[in-house]
């Protein structure tokens, strides 16, 4: 997901989340909250496709990972909520099974520049 310029809006201040190669391919990686924040982020990768989401289940807001960087099903096809077993599609965060079926994970706009994955400074706050 690339950031899109919108006329009349100031561009967000960006912070470096990680290097592209820090995210396993295929796989996922979690990140702590921004300074002063409460909720972390996580990234999923399939080849050059990267998605970043807020690390919170839409059902009750709990972190999705059951261990650091453990977000995906055994077969790598879904993001799994460690508490409820809800299943989310990787590339759009849509919940296909579980108590939040039909909801979505909160996406975070990213920019990739010179191999760095960048997010808005306030992402996850």
Q: Which residues of the chain have pLDDT under 50?
A: 1-2
* Residues comprising the chain, all counted: 125
Q: What is the pTM of this model?
A: 0.88
109 touches 117 (CB < 8 A): no
Please write the tens of the pLDDT for every residue from 88-107.
999 999 999 999 999 999 99
Domain positions in the chain: 14-120
CATH of the domain spanning 14-120: 2.102.10.10
13 burial type by CB count under 10 A (0-12 exposed, 13-18 middle, 19+ buried): exposed
- Determine the pLDDT at residue 125: 60
Please write the tens of the pLDDT for every residue from 73-92.
999 999 999 999 999 999 99
- Determine the pLDDT at residue 7: 56
- Determine the pLDDT at residue 36: 81
């Amino acid at each position: 997901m690339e950031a899109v310029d919108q006329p009349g809006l100031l561009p967000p201040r960006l912070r470096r989340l990680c290097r592209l190669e820090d995210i396993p391919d295929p796989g996922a990686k979690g990140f702590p909250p921004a300074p002063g924040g409460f909720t972390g982020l996580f990234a999923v990768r399939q080849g050059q496709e990267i998605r970043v989401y807020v690390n919170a289940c839409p059902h009750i807001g709990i972190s999705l990972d059951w261990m650091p960087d453990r977000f995906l099903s055994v077969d790598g096809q879904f993001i799994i909520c460690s508490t409820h077993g809800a299943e989310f599609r990787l590339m759009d965060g849509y919940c296909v099974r579980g108590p939040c079926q039909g909801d979505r994970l909160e996406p975070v706009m990213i920019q990739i520049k010179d191999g760095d994955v960048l997010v808005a400074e306030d992402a996850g706050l």
